């Protein structure tokens, strides 16, 4: 007997980080001139998002998307489509700036800028955050809690959702890991230093589905971190769509948004049933 809602055996979530072309703007001063990587990124909000949403509509799925503030401003139509279908949108930095390169005050400003965009365009504040390139700093959990975030999804200290206690603040962590991130099998992006060997759709997606089978067998959470311009490409999404149909046919998986998973985790935390990590891990250099 597992703890998941509705007596389900396991939980699953596909999260899409809609980075679009902000990666090239942050990576290169002349990123705005580089039309090819801009076009590769634009594929996400313009072609992949409608495709993904169509599948979710047909299958009755509500899932989570993490979007940088700049992308929300630049691609409001994609955001509107995501919201219209009732999906969750979380915060993913302003323009994919690496928090390691930002002072605590600058991180705070970046988050405020994002929240302003959420207020104006999304119409509600985000409950969840995923740090660009997963780079949470010592200051990030405190800043998130102070600004009303309920959960983070960047840290990798467990397979299952856990609680982060940080300087008197509590955040849920819905942990990703590189085994369910589509960057390693599919990213080929010289301008930002990722030249991975691109896998075929079935081969590249197979490790994610193997992770899923084991999570289901053990009654845990499977949580994918994908990108519209990578896994939302036509042939890859075709394979995902067939897999999703089979996964839903089983009837024993709770497909949920990360917000729903965070709420479930908080409820279990109130019963003392969730593991707690205390942050920051270190307050100074260890060598």
Q: Which residues bind Zn ion (CB under 5 A)?
A: 17, 19
Residue closer to Zn ion by CB (options 19, 110) is 19
Other Cβ atoms less than 10 A from the Cβ of 250: the count is 11
Beta strands in the chain (DSSP E): 10-17, 64-67, 88-91, 128-129, 151-152, 162-166, 169-173, 188-189, 194-195, 221-226, 253-255, 276-279
Q: What SS3 class is residue 143?
A: helix
Closest approach of Cβ 232 to Zn ion, in Å?
14
CB of 133 to Zn ion, least distance (A): 7
Q: How far apart are CA 231 and CA 198, in angstroms?
A: 12
Shortest CB 197 distance to Zn ion, Å: 21
Q: Rank residues 70 and 162 by Cβ distance to Zn ion and give the closer one.
A: 70
Rounded to a whole number of angstroms, the minimum distance from the CB of residue 225 to Zn ion is 9
Q: Who's near 69: CB < 8 A, 6+ residues apart?
A: 91, 93, 94, 95, 110, 113, 114, 117, 118
Q: How far is the CB of 153 from Zn ion (least distance, A)?
A: 11
In the complex with Zn ion, the residue whose CB is nearer, 19 or 88, is: 19
C-alpha pair distances (Å), 92 with each of 57, 128, 236, 244, 275: 24, 9, 24, 25, 25
Question: Cβ closer to Zn ion: 129 or 254?
Answer: 129
Nearest residue (CB) to Zn ion, 19 versus 211: 19
Closer to Zn ion by CB, 96 or 127: give it. Answer: 96
Residue 23 C-beta: closest distance to Zn ion, Å: 7
Q: Report the residue number, 91 or 240, with the smaller CB distance to Zn ion.
A: 91
Task: Tell me the C-alpha distance between 73 and 124, whole Å.
Answer: 15
Check if the beta carbon of residue 157 is closer than 8 Å to that of residue 173: yes
Closest distance of CB 182 from Zn ion, Å = 11
Residues in Cβ contact with 186 at an 8 Å cutoff, skipping those fewer than 6 apart: 196, 198, 199, 204, 230, 231, 233, 236
Burial of 258 (0-12, 13-18, 19+ CB in 10 A): buried
């Amino acid at each position: 007997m597992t703890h998941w809602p509705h007596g389900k055996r396991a939980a699953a979530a596909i999260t899409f980080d809609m980075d679009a072309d902000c990666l090239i703007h942050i990576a290169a001063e002349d990123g705005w001139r580089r039309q090819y990587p801009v076009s590769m990124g634009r594929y996400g909000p313009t072609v992949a998002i409608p495709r993904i949403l169509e599948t979710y509509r047909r299958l009755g799925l509500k899932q989570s998307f993490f979007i940088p503030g700049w992308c929300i401003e630049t691609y409001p139509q994609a955001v509107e489509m995501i919201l219209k279908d009732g999906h969750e949108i979380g915060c993913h930095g302003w323009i994919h700036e690496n928090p390691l390169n930002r002072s605590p005050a600058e991180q705070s400003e970046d988050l405020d800028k994002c929240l302003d965009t959420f207020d104006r365009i999304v119409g509600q504040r985000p409950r969840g955050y995923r740090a660009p390139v997963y780079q949470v700093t010592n200051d990030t959990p405190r800043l998130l809690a102070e600004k009303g975030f309920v959960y983070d999804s960047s840290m990798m200290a467990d397979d299952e959702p856990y609680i982060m206690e940080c300087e008197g603040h509590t955040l849920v962590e819905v942990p990703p890991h590189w085994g369910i991130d589509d960057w390693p099998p599919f990213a080929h992006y010289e301008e930002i230093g990722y030249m991975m060997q691109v896998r075929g759709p079935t081969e590249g997606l197979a490790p994610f589905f193997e992770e899923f089978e084991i999570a289901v067998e053990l009654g845990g959470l499977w949580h994918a971190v994908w990108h519209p311009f990578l896994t939302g490409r036509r042939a890859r999404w075709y394979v995902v769509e067939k897999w999703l149909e089979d996964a839903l046919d089983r009837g024993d998986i709770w497909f949920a948004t990360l917000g729903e998973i965070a709420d479930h985790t908080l409820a279990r935390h109130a019963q003392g049933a969730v593991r707690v990590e205390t942050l920051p891990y270190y307050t100074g250099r260890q060598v």
